[in-house]
Chain A
Amino acid sequence: MNSAPAIAFQILQSVLVVLAAPLLMGWVNQCRAWLQNRSAPSVLLPYYTLAKLLHKDAVIARDASPLFRLTPYVLFGCMWLAAGIVPVLATGLPFAPAADIIALVGVFALARVFSALAAMDIGTSFGGLGARREMLIGFLAEPAMLMTLFTAAFISGSTQLATIVDTLAHREFAIYPSLAFAAVAFLMVLLAENARIPIDNPTTHLELTMVHEAMILEYSARHLALIEWAVAIKLFAYMTIGFAFFVPWGIAEAGNWAALPVALAALLAKLALAGAGLALLETLLAKLRLFLAPEFLSSAFLLGVLGMLIHFLVSG
């Protein structure tokens, strides 16, 4: 399995995800600007922002501990690892057996813990506030996420992402009501986990409402660049997890160079559609009050559980 072509595929995918993630961010922002009748910024704007931030000198608070400096690298590393495990372009990658879906959720949780700790480390009131809100959302989103993933895992009989994708992509056509429920629940979790609109506004700096922005308020220059980049990779990874479960068609197998162009084209098309859809959702929805977030996420959990129950009912 770990032949040279497979390793080449792994490297290709990892590099591609890191390089393409800001592009996805730019595309979402552009779509949103169009929908809101603003003149859109360039798709490449996130790259310029990253380049600008990387050239600046970092300013760090006097009381910051090493944890504060370390966190951006941990975040970036976690997200990159996650992007290496998810079958983005191909299944059967050498990295894939390293972690199943439960461990993947764990990787995301690790990143969350570090960012919350770093936010509290500085000792500003905004940092603590952001960290608390983030943990509130995180602890509600995680069970919902796991329930969603379990539904797909029950259908394919494995918690390995690659196996799930293989079974779902190569089955004969069948309607799974349980997967429809899981898809809706996953979408809700995606919005919550990536600090998108019904839960958090990614563009706001209004202290009453910000969650994610409040946590990274003290970061500057290369640290901020790494965090922004990690956020982009996280969105990319979540979207590709969604594709892997609910629209797995077109994915290649590791080492199969002939299938690569098709897989790339399918990935691009799916990402373009999903990005536009995300922008549309964010334009249509209004941000919820923070205290309605538990209701939103408990609905996601409910949908996940219902999906699983219906799977047992219909197949059993």
Chain B
Amino acid sequence: MSLASQLVNLLAAFLLLIAFAMLSQRRILTLIHLFAWQGVALAASTFLVAHTTGQTHLYFSAALTVLLKVMLIPWVLHRLIDRLNVKWDVETLINIPTTMLIGIGLAIFAFALAAPISQMASTLTRSTLGIALASVLLSFLMMIVRRKAVPQVIGFLAMENGLFFAATSATYGMPLVVELGVALDVLVGTFIFGIFFFHIREQFDSLEIRHMEKLKED
């Protein structure tokens, strides 16, 4: 194995580690920091793949990742939780050790699912497909087990990170136009979520999603 592919594997492992750390994290502030670090790992691995394979459009997507997911979106989220004054309380539906055990199960499932695909692939990053799939599933799990709206949105953004990584590892990334579109979508999504948070809180006096299940006032 070449050094570059070893480094990509290492970064992929970090990505997975951060996904697990997000799953086990109780504080929203730390969650945002972890999300930014996940962006750093993603950008570094994209840059490495771009460098070794000579795919120039991947440089752009690495730069885009740094700009959006490491700087802009975490900053917006920071502002949001400052305004909403929610920094600490993350409530989970299941306790954290159980969530982690479910997470291990998901990771094994994702690895098993990706194994036949990576055997057929010939890319530099084929062994990381399982990790990408696992981080998508873990972000999904995070969205399911969290009660409050802000962690759910961070889960959603982390899922996009996972998908992006899956695209890079399976096919050396999507065409630039698609990537630009997705990045814009994520950005706009974050802003809209931000506005929604305020509306949800105004309406229900809390950011818990559970309140939205009731359709009429009683």
Interaction A to B: yes
Given A305-B104, A306-B20, A313-B131, A294:B9 Cβ within 8 A: no
Distance between A13 CB and nearest chain B CB, rounded to angstroms: 34
**Residues of chain B in range 96-123 having any CB-CB distance to chain A below 8 Å:** 96-97, 100-101, 103-104, 107-108, 111, 115
State which of A180, A294, A299 has its C-beta within 8 Å of the C-beta of B13. A180
In the complex the two chains form, is A302's CB within 8 Å of B104's CB? yes
Report the Cα distance A128→B14, complex, angstroms.
42
Q: Which of B12, B13, B24, B104 has the most CB of A within 10 A?
A: B13
B139 CB to nearest chain A CB (Å): 16
Is residue B7 within 8 Å, beta carbon to beta carbon, of the partner chain? yes
A298–B127 touching, CB < 8 Å = no
Q: How far is the CA of A314 from the CA of B13 in the complex (A)?
A: 10
Q: Nearest CB to that of B104 among chain A residues? A: A305
List which A271-316 residues lie within 8 A (CB) of chain B: 294-295, 298-299, 302-303, 305-306, 309-310, 312-314, 316
Provided the pairs A177-B12, A310-B16 are in contact, do residues A295 and B96 lie with their beta carbons within 8 angstroms?
yes
Whether B130 contacts A313 by the Cβ 8 Å rule is: yes
For A310, give its contact among B1, B6, B104, B131 (CB under 8 Å). B131
Please state if B13 and A310 are interface contacts (CB–CB under 8 Å).
Answer: yes
CB pair B13–A174 under 8 Å, yes or no, is no
A148-188, CB under 8 A of B: which get 1 and which 0? 00000000000000000000000000110110110000000
Q: Are A316 and B97 in contact (CB under 8 A)?
A: no
Residues in B whose Cβ lies below 8 Å from that of A295 = 24, 96-97
Collect the chain A residues with CB atoms within 8 Å of residue B195's CB.
Answer: none
Bound Cα distance from A153 to B104, whole angstroms: 21
- Tell me which residues from 66 to 105 in chain B have a Cβ below 8 Å from any Cβ of chain A: 96-97, 100-101, 103-104
Residues of chain B within 8 A (CB-CB) of A316 are 115, 127
Determine how close the nearest CB of chain A comes to the CB of B104; give it in whole angstroms: 6
CB distance from A108 to the nearest CB of B (A): 23
Question: In the complex, which residues of chain A have a beta carbon less than 8 angstroms from the beta carbon of B184?
Answer: none
Are A175 and B100 within 8 A (Cβ)? no
Give the size range of B's interface with the partner: 20 to 34
Contact of B7 among A175, A180, A299, A313 (CB under 8 A): A175
Contact B115 A174 (CB under 8 A): no
Q: Which B residues, 172 to 195, have Cβ-Cβ distances below 8 Å to chain A?
A: none
Query: CB distance A314 to B16 under 8 Å?
Result: no
The 8 Å CB contact of B6, one of A174, A294, A305, is A174
Instruction: Write out the residue numbers on chain B whose beta carbons fall within 8 Å of the beta carbon of A306.
Output: 13, 16-17, 20, 104, 107
**Nearest Cβ on chain A to B28's Cβ, whole angstroms:** 18
Interface presence of B10 (CB below 8 A): yes
Are B107 and A309 in contact (CB-based, < 8 A)?
A: yes
Q: How far is the CA of A294 from the CA of B96 in the complex (A)?
A: 10
Whole-angstrom distance between the Cβ of B115 and the nearest chain A Cβ: 7
Bound CA–CA A124/B7 (angstroms): 55
Query: Cα distance A175–B9 when bound, in Å?
Result: 9
Contact of A302 among B9, B10, B103 (CB under 8 A): B103
* Bound form: Cα–Cα A259–B132 in Å: 45
Within 8 A of A (CB), among B1-37: 1, 3, 6-7, 9-10, 12-14, 16-17, 20, 24
Q: How far is the CA of A309 from the CA of B12 in the complex (A)?
A: 13
CB distance from A52 to the nearest CB of B (A): 43
Closest 4 CB pairs of A and B: A177-B13, A298-B97, A175-B6, A177-B10
B interface with A by C-beta (< 8 Å) = 1, 3, 6-7, 9-10, 12-14, 16-17, 20, 24, 96-97, 100-101, 103-104, 107-108, 111, 115, 127, 130-131
* Interface of A toward B, CB cutoff 8 Å: 174-175, 177-178, 180-181, 294-295, 298-299, 302-303, 305-306, 309-310, 312-314, 316
11 contacts between A and B (CB under 8 A): A174-B6, A175-B6, A180-B13, A302-B103, A306-B16, A306-B104, A310-B131, A313-B127, A313-B130, A314-B9, A316-B127
